[in-house]
Every structure is written in C-alpha cells, then in structure tokens.
Amino acid sequence: MILAIANPLHHVLDVPWPGFTFRIFGLPFTLMSGGIISILIAGIGLVAFFVPIARNPSYIPKGAQNLIEGLVVFVRDTIARPALHEKAENYLSFLCTIFVFVFALNLTGLLPLEAISLLAGINDTHRIGGTPTATPTVGAALALLAVLAILGNGLRCAAERFRDTHPEMPAAACWLISPVTWFLSLSPNVPGPIGKVVLLPMAVLELVSALAKCMALMVRLCANMLAGHMLLSVLALLAMMSLEPMFRPAPDASFYGIPVIPLCWLGSVVLTLMELLVAGIQAFIFTIMVALFLGMYAETDH
C-alpha cells in the first residue's frame, strides 16, 4: 500500500537503474533494472530447486521429485501430446522449461521485493522487484525464443525430409537447401496449376502469419500480467487516499472514504489469489501456443 501512494504505473512498469542504460544504433539497452533483478531471482531459484533433485534422482520418487514428475506429466499430457502427437517427446524438455520459467516470472511479481528494498533503505531509483512478464521487452524476448525454436526445428525437419527423399545428397547440401524447402512447405498443398501459381504468395502469407502469432504471445502475456497488477495498485492507492485525512487532518477534511478501506483490503486479497491463478493460466497458454506453433510450422508433417 505504501508503494501506491504515488502514481501506480511507477510501481508496475519496469524502471532502468541510472547509469545502466546505453544506446546501440539509436536503440536503448538496459543492463540492470528491477525487472532484471526479478528475472535473476527467478532463475537462481529455479536452478537451486531443480538441479539438486535432478542430480540425485530416486527410483521411488518422493517429496519434490514427485512434484517435478507431476509437472512433466502435466506438460506432456495436456500440452505436448495434444499439439505435437508422436513428436511430443522431442520437444518435452523445451516446453517444460518454457512453462516453468514463465510461471516463475509471473509469480516473482507477487513477491514484495520492492517494499523490502525500500524498508532496507535502498534508493527508489535502484529499486528491486516487479513483474518481468508485464514488460514488453521481456515478452518480446520470450516470443523471439518461440520464433527461434520454430525456425531452427523447421530447418532441421526440412533438411531431414529432403535427405530422406534424396539420399544421394550430402548432409551439408540438405542443410543449405533447407531454408527454401521449409519456406515452400508452409504453403497449403493446392493441386493442379493453381497450386503452382499460389505457392509463393501463400508461403509468404503463412510466414507472416507465423511471425504475427508469435508477436501475439508477447501482447497476450504482457497485457494480462500488467492488468492484474494495475488493479492491485489502484486498490492500494484508493486505500491510501482514504487514510490520508486521518494522518493529515485539514479543516475541510472528509472521513467518508474510511469505510472503503476494508473493501480495498478485501479486494486486494481476492485479486492476489486471482493473480496466482492467472500466473499459472498465462504460463499454460503461452506454452501450449508455442507447442501449437511448433506443430504448425516446424513439424508440418506430424
């Protein structure tokens, strides 16, 4: 609540640290910010949790290993197999990583890191915390990861298919021609001479569609995470505005807003619980959309 006494957007949007920004070809780049700190915290936490368990697996799983196995089964049965069918196992590790990482970034925004940093005496210009996935640049980086996965696996599959149909060709030549064969494979199979005429335009449209769908991943994730935290900040701001006459009384001060405070607190609790649900839902949607795009544009023959 203390954080929302000023502009709520200031505590929702990521703010770079002074002295840690520079420009390359006129484009701004940030080396450190509150959101980057949150990403580092999420990454270190995931490594500290998963690596010791992965290094010492047990034949009879228990405790945290049960949790990890349940997570893998969940991603495999509800995301990978419905989208990729028999190719699901090839992408299971990638999809599990995407799901866990996005979920952890979403949850990091619910930690009171900024309040802790202010109470510890850290300057607000070097604040810590925030929701990384509510930042467009982080969403764009995750969407770019999906694009690279689609492109890399699409080229690999195209090279393997060309090698199967032309076994006399060396592997290097198959890889060199794979961008052309993969690009043409994006076009729907239209029989007859019309199919040859529309082959190139349809391939271009499908490529643009793939890039637009990956960009939509960024917009969906950022918008949903930003909206929830904005609601929490606005409720906190209303509560602080209602409390202000009690601490700074004025001759014309009005105390009619005080009954609003319990409603704001209750709304904040409900919204926080909803944010926990939204964090998991958005991680699930992001991962299943990546799996669907892999099936549509990388594993075109699955």
Q: For residue 20, is pLDDT > 70?
A: yes
How many Cα atoms occupy the beta-carbon half-sphere of 252 within 13 Å? Answer: 0
- Please name the residue that has the structure tokens 């049965």: 77
Q: For residue 160, is pLDDT > 90?
A: no
Burial class for 156, CB neighbours closer than 10 Å (0-12, 13-18, 19+): middle
Using CA atoms, how far apart are residues 247 and 255, in angstroms rounded to an integer? 11
Residues 91-115 pLDDT 10s: 999 999 999 999 998 888 777 666 6
Domain boundaries, the chain: 2-157+221-298
pTM for the structure as a whole: 0.83
Q: For residue 249, is pLDDT > 60?
A: no
* pLDDT value of residue 288: 93
Q: Quote the tokens at residue 6.
A: 């000023």
Q: What angle do CA 113, 114, 117 make, to 5 degrees?
A: 85
DSSP secondary structure code for residue 16 in this structure: B
Residues 108-149 pLDDT 10s: 877 766 666 666 666 666 667 777 888 888 888 889 988 999
Q: Which stretches within the chain are classed as H helix? A: 34-55, 64-75, 81-84, 88-108, 113-119, 136-165, 171-185, 192-247, 260-293
Please give the residue that has the higher pLDDT: either 292 or 4.
Answer: 292
Please give the residue that has the higher pLDDT: either 160 or 244.
Answer: 160
DSSP secondary structure code for residue 298 in this structure: I
Q: What angle do CA 103, 106, 112 make, to 5 degrees?
A: 130
Is the CB of residue 84 less than 8 Å from the CB of residue 294?
yes
Q: What is the mean pLDDT of residues 265-285?
A: 84
Please give the residue that has the higher pLDDT: either 3 or 54.
Answer: 54
